[in-house]
Each structure stands twice: as C-alpha cells, then as structure tokens.
Structure 1
Amino acid sequence: MLDIAGELDRWARQGRDFAVATVVAVGGSAPRGPGAALAVDGHGTAVGSVSGGCVEAAVYDLCVQALQDGEPVRERFGYSDEDAFAVGLTCGGVVDVLVTPVRVDAPDRAVVEAALAAAAGGGAAALARVVAGPVGRLGRALLVRPDGSYEGGLGGLPGLDRAAAAEARALLDAGRTGEFHVAQTGERCGAGGPDGLTVFVESSVPPPRMIVFGAVDFAAALVRTGKFLGYHVTVCDARPVFATRERFPEADEVVVDWPHRYLRGTGTDGRTVLCVLTHDAKFDVPLLETALRLPVAYVGAMGSRRTHEDRDRRLRETGLSERELARLRSPIGLDLGARTPEETALSIAAEIVAARGGGTGVPLTGAHTPIHHDPDERGTGVVLPHAAKGNSRQSFAS
C-alpha cells in the first residue's frame, strides 16, 4: 500500500472511499514483490499494480467487491494450465493478495490515513496488518513510528499490540517489508497455529543515499541515473570550481569538502551506496580507508586495472584487512562495454542493482539463474513456500 502512498493520501484527504489490494507473500517467479499494491476508489479509478498485468482484472474486481460489502479478503493467484490467461500468473509464480476496504466508516481508516500521510511526506513509519488469523482480525492495522509509539490495534490483548509494535519497529529500523507470526498474547509463535496471527509489515523510509565523490562528467550522468533509481544523491568534491549547482542541477546536494572529511561527518546506513569517481590517490585512499570500514551497502571506485592495483597497495598500507578490502568493487561497474559517461553510469547502476538484489550480472538468456530472486534470500521480504503452488485462486480462512 505504501508504494502508492502519494495518490492514496490525496484520495484520503478528499474523503474518498477506496479499497487496496496488497501483495503480502510471493513464491516462484512472481512479477512483483511484497508490498506492491493496486487501489480502486468508489468511482472505479485504479492506481498501482500487483502483478504487472496478468491478474490485475481479477484483483480489480475483488477491490470493487470489498468496497461494496466492507469485508477484507485474502486471495492466492498462481499458475494454472486451465485458466492461465484468465486469472493466473503465466510466469509460473504465486502471489497472495490482501484486499482491504478503506471506507470513510472503516474502523482502521484513521490508522491507514496516518500511515499514508507519513509515507507521502517522506517520513518513516511502518504499517502492520493482520493477513491471517482468527475470524474478524483480517486487515486490522497498527501504525508504528520510529520512536516505537503506535496507534490502532490488532484486536487482541494489550500484549499483542506491544509485541507487534516491537516487531514492526525492528523491520522499520532495517527499512524492510516482511511478516512475523505472533500469538494473541503477544508471544512469538510458528506459522499456522490455531490462535496465532500472521502480521504483514510495510515499512516507509526516506530514500537511500547515493554519495558520488568526484565532480566529473561521469558523475553528472550517474546523478541522473541515481535519481531515476530513487536515491537521494549527493555530489562531493574538494574543488569548488567543479562542484557547483550549475554542473549538477539534478543532485539533491552539492558539497565542497575533502571527500574523506565529509564522509566521516555525514550520515550513512546499510542502504547507502558510495561511488568514488575521482581516481586520484590523494582523494581516493583516505576516502576509501574510511568508506570500507562503514556498514554501507556498496563501495565502488573508478579507475583502470593499473590504478586499482596501485590503490590496493596503498590501502593495504593503511592497515585495512582482507575482509574490508574485499568489499571494494573496483574497477567500478559491470562489463557492458561502456564508453560514454551515460553508458558508464548505466554500468555502475547495474552493479548496484545486482548487489542490492542478489543478482549475478550474467545475461538471462541461456542462464539457469532465477529471473526474480527470492526476497528472503537477501532479507528484504517474505516468500511463499514453493510447495504452496496450486490452483490459480485459493481463498484463505480468516
């Protein structure tokens, strides 16, 4: 739901009734991951997508029905030889979809509105909803904020909401979307217990950072690519004549400072990517010495193989360990045969996406690697067991 928060926040502020279908579990080669959503308002207007097209019509109808009867429902869509092109996923995957009506008179309307407002405004918040459990609990919602405070409720004992808020906050701190299982008393439990609940959490966090060091032509192209991928992009260079807003109008920030000094003083986290394009030892070595000791997602450095060998020798002299040096991606980017700044930026972006998503970077043609990597293999989502594949549509008891 939060992936289309901007439009839904506008609908909510206009007082519209709407229903939201959210992917809450996937298996196999599903086209979109947990958290993907499609919403339909009372006029039949639709926004978003849960499958890239193959089951949109069926999900649309479920939203319309939920708006009419006010009841949430969970449905499974998967591959079926009989009706693959009717309502099935022809890619062979399985998706579970939770359809929740958000009518003006809905008991959780205020909670959903607050979550949408936070996400649309770029704030951090987690929306936890019951996706499986006792009758009457399906769709119940809890909004959890970064400080651990929460509003709403899952309809159980007080300990349930406290426990759910703690679990959701942990996912929010990691910027993850996922699920957990909890007993009505608030204790952790395994999936499928008769009195347990499965809670799905969507996290909304500010965009991850991309910091580009070196105000060069390649940096200008990488800024544009980084913005396209959804990063908050900063350009940093010690030379004021090159690090200007005129040269990098699309950057969120342009900083004039020594790269290593700026990196030591700025905020980074486990989603941050650092791209070092200066290929000048007096900038690179102190910068990379700092960067490779930070818990960031990606560190890449531009330069020829000879430059890399010299840089590697200098970095070893600073005392970096083999494990720290192994984190450096240098020469930066994938081998695409890139020549121009734009092609080089694409090469770097491709390596960042592969590193973030667990991809191999090899061509899909003729390969035996999965097209869509299971989110749980990289700790960013929930996956339906492969044994759950079956009929195209399957209702879940709620």
Structure 2
Amino acid sequence: MQDILENLRTWTDPFAVATVIRTWKSSPRGPGASMAVNATGEAVGSVSGGCVESAVYEVCREVLKTGRPQVVRYGVTDNDAFQVGLTCGGTIELLVRRVDPAEPGQLTDLIAAVDAHRPTALAIVAAAEEKSLVGRHILLVEGEAHGSTEEERLDAAIADAASGVLEYGRNQTVHLGRNGERRPNEVSVFIECFTPAPKMIVFGAIDFAAAVARIGSFLGYHVTVCDARPVFATRARFPDVDELVVRWPHEYLRSVVVDARTVLCVLTHDPKFDIPLLVEALAGRAGYIGVIGSRRTHADRNEALRAEGINEDQLARLSSPIGLDLGGRTPEETAVSIAAEIVARRWGGSGLPLGMLETPIHGHPLRTAAMETS
C-alpha cells in the first residue's frame, strides 16, 4: 500500500484496498502493489499495470459493501484468462480488505508513523484455517505492536516476524501455526514494509567484493560497491549491484546517509584507502563495520587510526579480521563468513552451533502493546 499512501491521505471514509501478496513468473508488479476503491467509486493505484484492474475493481466494491476480506488470484491459468488474465504470462494473488481510516492502527496511524520516518510494518492475516482471522492485522511501529488477531501467542509471533522482515525492508509472506509456531502453515501473514531496504556498502572492487555483494543482495540489502580505481569498478565485474561508484571511499561515504541498519564492508586492504575511510566510518552510525586483513594488519591499522585521533571505544566497533571462523578459503566461502557475522551482530547471535546451546532458537519474541497493558 506504500505506493498509494499519498493518494489516501484525504480519504476519511471506509474504502477497500487490494494488495498483491504473491506472484508467479513474469507478473508485472510485485508484492505490496495496491489499488484502492472508495464508496464513490474513485480508484487509485494499480496491481497489474492494467491487465486485471477491472476485475479487481469489482471485487473491491463487493468487499467494501460486505466487509468480508477475499483472496483472489489472476493469471493465464484462469478459464477467463483472455478477459481478465495477465497477458504477460504471470500470475498474481491479492488480498482485498476493507479499511476504516478512523479505526486505531489503521490508515491514520500508518501515515503518522511514515511521516515521522519511524520504521513501520503492516502485517495482515491473508489466509487461515480459522476464517475469522483473515483480514486481522498488526501495525508494528519501531518495535511496538498495535492491533491484534485476538490470539496472544499468534500476535507475539507476528510481531516478531514483522520485526525481522522490517530489518530488510522487503515485503514478504510468512507462515505460522495458530499458536505462533514457526513451521506449521495454518496462518499466512503478509507483511508490508514502509521503509527502504538497508544499505550494504562494499569498498574495494575485488573478487571477494563480488561475492559479498551477491550475498548482500540475497539478504535483502541495497548493495553499493565503491572503489577509486575505474579499471576495477566496472559493470562487467559487478553486473548485479544496485550502485557502482568510482570515487575515493571516504569522500563517497561522507556524501551518503548512514544509519544503524547500514553495513560497511571494507575490503580494499590498502592504508591509503582504509585509514581515511575508517575515520569517516567511525564518526558515523553504521551498525556494522567489517574490515578485511590479517591480525598483524589489524594491529597496524589500529595504530594508524589512533594517530588520527580514534579512541579505544571507537576501535571496538570494528569487526576485524572480518567474518566468523568457518574455515573457508574461496571468495564465496569468505562471503558466507562475513554474512554470518553480520546476521549474528544484527540479532545478537552467538555464532556458535545451535546444538551447543540451550537458549531458544529464534530468541525471544517482541512484546506487543496488548501484552504490555494486560
């Protein structure tokens, strides 16, 4: 719904919204794309680029009238494919529900959170064996949950899942048990994020950087590779990264917004690049700063940074040598090691084999607003 949020600001009466929750093959729009229809018949947004809008419009009118949510699917496999199907050959599944802007945890609260630049996710039950759960939702704003499915353990599991999805800013459907179990498929919850994907900035256009960039994209990061050497920083070497920057690393870092979700991987292994870059990085808010190099290189680098005025608390923020001890050798294995450390740092994991631990595998779920007041 993020794509039409601006259009909905003036809508004060109930309306129906259809949101893409799953896609197959060459569907024209991804999960989160939405179309809304109000009581006067006005429509905003698109779910398919025009292929099935007329059919979805009618479903929205029906849901607005009855108040009962529906899940509908369109694609070339339908009998009426030529009438309402996706001529591109893809298939989309949509959740259509009624929204009352005046209700707590609905449109007004969502817009207020987005305007305040607060990390926000909207989790909606899209399918459930218990049909009364469908359409119920939880709005997660900076870790605080508003709304309820009226199932306390399920609420906690949804809030926990939404928190994880929100960290990477990528819309996703998760499957849970009725009581919040992780593996069962009794409840499907679509989670839409109202925040951009976190940044991963990889400095140093080397083979290891290519592998780290690939796994960063896999994890859901917006990946940038930066190197001052144009002969190395080429699209031929990095065809799939979101951004490729030819610039001195410290100058580039100074020009971008870095927050607590930002990951910096310094793979240049050259003091003339590393020292000014790390001075800049340690003055910022990046949640992870990993630096490649041996222990001897790390010790020498720390001395050079101390000479630049970096204190011991700042030096403690560096993950160097970068990565967890997995025993890997190849660029791809090294990338897995780095990614493992990033994930462990983000969620407070120990990095130890789960078989050695007695703590909960998925940690402790977030407390919802309802739980806090009960």
**Normalised-by-shorter TM-score class:** 0.5 to 0.7
**Structure 1 pair 205/302, CA: closer, same or farther in 2 (3 Å)?**
same
1:254 aligned partner? 244
1:294 to 269, 284, 292: 284
2:307 to 297, 300, 317: 317
**Structure 1 pair 176/225, CA: closer, same or farther in 2 (3 Å)?**
farther
Once the 2 structures are TM-superposed, how far is the Cα of residue 282 of structure 1 from its aligned partner?
Answer: 1.1
Asked if residue 9 in structure 1 is aligned to residue 39 in structure 2, the reply is: no
2:108 aligned partner? 142
Once the 2 structures are TM-superposed, how far is the Cα of residue 210 of structure 1 from its aligned partner?
Answer: 0.5
- State the Cα RMSD in Å: 3.9
Distance 1:43 1:242 in 2: 46
**Structure 1 pair 369/279, CA: closer, same or farther in 2 (3 Å)?**
farther
Distance 2:356 2:302 in 1: 35
Once the 2 structures are TM-superposed, how far is the Cα of residue 265 of structure 1 from its aligned partner?
Answer: 1.4
Distance 1:129 1:314 in 2: 57
One-letter amino acid of the structure 2 residue matched with residue 7 of structure 1:
P
**Structure 1 pair 234/176, CA: closer, same or farther in 2 (3 Å)?**
farther
Please state whether the residue corresponding to 1:316 is helix, strand or coil: helix
Distance 1:253 1:107 in 2: 37
- 2:197–2:221 Cα contact (<8 Å) kept: yes
Unaligned runs of 5+ in 1: 20-38, 46-100, 112-127, 131-138, 145-149, 151-164, 183-199, 389-398
Distance 1:338 1:247 in 2: 22
Once the 2 structures are TM-superposed, how far is the Cα of residue 342 of structure 1 from its aligned partner?
Answer: 0.2
- 2:114–2:120 Cα contact (<8 Å) kept: no
**1:1-398 correspondence runs (5 A):** 4=21, 6-7=30-31, 9=33, 13=46, 14=53, 15=56, 16=59, 41-42=71-72, 102-103=96-97, 106-108=98-100, 130=104, 140-142=106-108, 144=110, 150=111, 165=112, 169=116, 171-172=118-119, 177-179=142-144, 203-374=193-364, 376=366, 382=368
Distance 1:203 1:298 in 2: 22
- 2:146–2:369 Cα contact (<8 Å) kept: no
Name which of structure 1's ranges 364-373 and 294-303 shifts more when overlaid on structure 2.
364-373
Q: How big is each residue's C-alpha offset from its partner over 1:62-92, in whole Å with a ceiling of 9 and x where there is no partner?
A: xxxxxxxxxxxxxxxxxxxxxxxxxxxxxxx
**Structure 1 pair 43/243, CA: closer, same or farther in 2 (3 Å)?**
closer
**Structure 1 pair 292/225, CA: closer, same or farther in 2 (3 Å)?**
same
Distance 2:341 2:359 in 1: 17
One-letter amino acid of the structure 2 residue matched with residue 373 of structure 1:
G
Higher-RCO chain (CA-CA 8 Å, sequence separation at least 6): 1
- 2:114–2:194 Cα contact (<8 Å) kept: no
Once the 2 structures are TM-superposed, how far is the Cα of residue 178 of structure 1 from its aligned partner?
Answer: 3.1
TM-score scaled to structure 1, two decimals? 0.54
Please state whether the residue corresponding to 1:299 is helix, strand or coil: strand
**Structure 1 pair 42/223, CA: closer, same or farther in 2 (3 Å)?**
closer
Q: How big is each residue's C-alpha offset from its partner over 1:262-304, in whole Å with a ceiling of 9 and x where there is no partner?
A: 1111222221100000111111111111101101111000001
Distance 2:34 2:144 in 1: 27
Q: How big is each residue's C-alpha offset from its partner over 1:199-227, in whole Å with a ceiling of 9 and x where there is no partner?
A: x9975111111000000000010111010
Distance 1:384 1:353 in 2: 29
Distance 1:342 1:245 in 2: 19
Once the 2 structures are TM-superposed, how far is the Cα of residue 179 of structure 1 from its aligned partner?
Answer: 2.6
**Structure 1 pair 364/141, CA: closer, same or farther in 2 (3 Å)?**
same
**Structure 1 pair 239/365, CA: closer, same or farther in 2 (3 Å)?**
same
Distance 1:240 1:232 in 2: 21
TM-score scaled to structure 2, two decimals? 0.57
- 2:225–2:245 Cα contact (<8 Å) kept: yes
- 2:70–2:96 Cα contact (<8 Å) kept: no
**Structure 1 pair 10/223, CA: closer, same or farther in 2 (3 Å)?**
same
**Structure 1 pair 319/255, CA: closer, same or farther in 2 (3 Å)?**
same
2:174 aligned partner? none
**Structure 1 pair 142/300, CA: closer, same or farther in 2 (3 Å)?**
same
- 2:197–2:222 Cα contact (<8 Å) kept: yes
Distance 2:369 2:326 in 1: 32
Give the paired residue count. 248
Q: How big is each residue's C-alpha offset from its partner over 1:235-255, in whole Å with a ceiling of 9 and x where there is no partner?
A: 111111001111100111111
- 1:177–1:203 Cα contact (<8 Å) kept: no
- 1:276–1:302 Cα contact (<8 Å) kept: yes
**Structure 1 pair 367/129, CA: closer, same or farther in 2 (3 Å)?**
farther
**Structure 1 pair 265/10, CA: closer, same or farther in 2 (3 Å)?**
closer
